[in-house]
Structure 1
Amino acid sequence: MTRGRREDDRERARLIERVVSAWRDRAPDGRIVPPAEFLDLPAGERELAYREQLVARALEAAWDPRGLSTTGRLVVTIARRLGQLAPRTGHEGEH
């Protein structure tokens, strides 16, 4: 493998990692902004990044006591802050 090819592979892996990450930037008005790196990937790599996102969120949900991914926890937090969900009682997930 040539040096240029290794560097391309590393750059592609960095872009995919950034896209797969649960972190999303926000616009000044609070909207979530998709990672610009997504558009820097070729179409086939975008599909790979999307599938890896699905796996990452499923793993997060499997590790969470309430079965929520990072995205799910953020949605619940925002909904509670907006008064659209009851405050957490500390007993969620108990059977």
Structure 2
Amino acid sequence: MITITEFLVARIAEDEATAQAFGQATGSLLLEEDASGDLMLTIGADRVLAECAAKRAIVEHWGPYETLEGPDLLRALAAVYADHPDYQPDWAQEG
């Protein structure tokens, strides 16, 4: 079974790779309309990379203290990826 720390490190790496593939952008948020008229929120690659760095620092700090369920902060970070097939329902925060 994958640990919450391993799960987060893998998701952060995926997010970083995606942001790097799209290159460095302005870092600003942009709300725009797509071809079908739906609104889309675009976040610049540099913003995504900065968030990945922050998440990685949190995981590196708290990962060694991981328990089966993980510290609340790691559980909160993992919740963002709850739709991922490797996400464990036991990681869901109570409340």
Q: TM-score range by the shorter chain?
A: under 0.3
Q: Normalising by structure 2, what TM-score?
A: 0.28
Highest CA radius of gyration, 1 or 2?
1
Larger RCO (alpha carbons 8 Å, 6+ apart): 2
Higher helix share: 1
Q: Normalising by structure 1, what TM-score?
A: 0.28
